[in-house]
Structure 1
Amino acid sequence: MAGIVVVFDFDKTIIDRDSDNWVVDELGFTDLFNRLLPTMPWNTLMDTMMKEMHAQGTTIDDIVEVLKRSPIHPRIVPAIKSAHALGCELRIVSDANMFFIETILEHLGVKECFSELNSNPSFVD
């Protein structure tokens, strides 16, 4: 299968939910998120949410544990591994953030299957 490139989105494709919403919901910040959503752009909202979660004691380890529980279809990991084993070049193009994507891919054991990840930058302070 040389020459075949498979491009995935991440949210609602590799995982079954939007990763930002998943983290906010699982950590109990849905009400604040919903109040702020109409007042600012998405990236500003997520920056604000991360700051508020941190201010209320949420740690990066808490976020990582939530990301590891992200819902996925049971066939997605075998499909990724099969396509990679057949020689397909796999890439991700997503509006999710790089930290969430890399954390989940590493947890699923498929990060090495992807030759390229194109997404929003992120940093942990």
Structure 2
Amino acid sequence: MKILMVFDFDHTVVDDNSDTWVIRCLPSQTLPDSVRKSYRKGRWTEFMGRVMKHIGEQEVGADSVRAVMETIPYTAGMTDLLRFISENKPRVDCIVVSDSNSLFIDWILQAKGLRDAVDRVFTNPAQFNERGHMEVSGHHQHDCQRCPVNMCKKEVLEQYLSKQSGGGVQYRRVVYVGDGGNDLCPALCLRAQDVVMPRAGFSLEKLLAAEEGVLARVSVWSSGADVLQELQSSLQA
């Protein structure tokens, strides 16, 4: 039976927020107030649609956007961790569940030659339209009251595990690696033999400390080396 590694992306695989990093492709590297102040709580993906529309209207093309996204820094130790996963695919499956978008994640992983480490990416679909503007849409609809309107990571993870089980793939351990508030919900569906890894000093660590419904073992991480050690221990168990 395999180990399943589940990663958030922003402030986890990469050491920044990809959705705010993209603003660096603008000549001014700032958003006008009309866009910046249009955000509404729980509707970040809709906001990012307006951000990318503005970027397109400034005649910043796809190549320029991609070039900027490829400069986002990886979190310390994450490239080594993902390479280890690539080298151990017979024993390890790996998915990304992120509130970023499909283009950003693919570009960033491909820039380091790491896309093959990840079996599936579950995120908000993105594409360039006929005007050259990048469009972002929500990943799915759901009824969860904890999560942003465009994605419940718990539902994504449960559906993935169910599909894998239906195909005969069982995981003896799931290791969930994240940092933010939207990573709490999927942590609640983990089993006692699983591990949830919140990043030290980020909101998920505090939320888990206050949450009584988590069955999984909690293991705090500061770098990809900590996650790699946990994965290696799981493979040896």
Tell me the TM-score range normalised by the shorter chain. 0.7 to 0.9
Structure of greater Rg: 2
Distance 1:118 1:44 in 2: 17
1:4 aligns with 2:3: yes
Q: What is the letter of the counterpart of residue 107 of structure 1?
A: A
Distance 1:12 1:79 in 2: 15
Q: Show the counterpart of 1:70.
A: 72
Q: Is the 8 A contact 1:91 1:117 kept in 2?
A: yes
SS at match of 1:4: strand
**Percentage of matched positions with identical amino acids:** 26
1:93 aligns with 2:97: yes
Distance 1:19 1:80 in 2: 18
1:104 aligns with 2:108: yes
Distance 2:75 2:127 in 1: 28
The gaps in structure 1 that reach 5 residues or longer are: none
Q: Is the 8 A contact 2:15 2:73 kept in 1?
A: yes
Q: Is the 8 A contact 1:16 1:72 kept in 2?
A: yes
Distance 1:50 1:73 in 2: 25
Give per-residue Cα distances to partners, 1:36-68, cap 9 Å, x unaligned.
335993222211111111111111111101111
Give per-residue Cα distances to partners, 1:49-90, cap 9 Å, x unaligned.
111111111111111011110011242111111123133111
Q: What is the letter of the counterpart of residue 109 of structure 1?
A: G
Q: What is the letter of the counterpart of residue 29 of structure 1?
A: T
SS at match of 1:64: helix
Distance 2:40 2:125 in 1: 23
Q: Show the counterpart of 1:17.
A: 16
TM-score (norm 2): 0.48
After TM superposition, where is structure 1 displaced by more than 6 Å over at least 4 residues in a row? none
Deviates more, 1:41-50 or 1:21-30: 21-30
Alignment of 1:45-60 (within 5 A): 45-60=47-62
Summarize the Cα distance change of 1:39–1:53 in structure 2 as closer, same or farther, 3 Å threshold.
Answer: farther
Q: Show the counterpart of 1:79.
A: 81
Q: Is the 8 A contact 2:7 2:96 kept in 1?
A: yes
SS at match of 2:119: strand
TM-score (norm 1): 0.87
CA-CA distance at 1:25 after TM superposition: 4.2
Q: Is the 8 A contact 1:20 1:96 kept in 2?
A: yes
Question: Quick one: which of 117, 124, 131 aligns to 1:113?
Answer: 117
Distance 1:10 1:64 in 2: 17
CA-CA distance at 1:91 after TM superposition: 0.8
Q: What is the letter of the counterpart of residue 15 of structure 1?
A: V
Q: Is the 8 A contact 1:84 1:90 kept in 2?
A: no
Q: Show the counterpart of 2:30.
A: 29
Higher helix share: 1
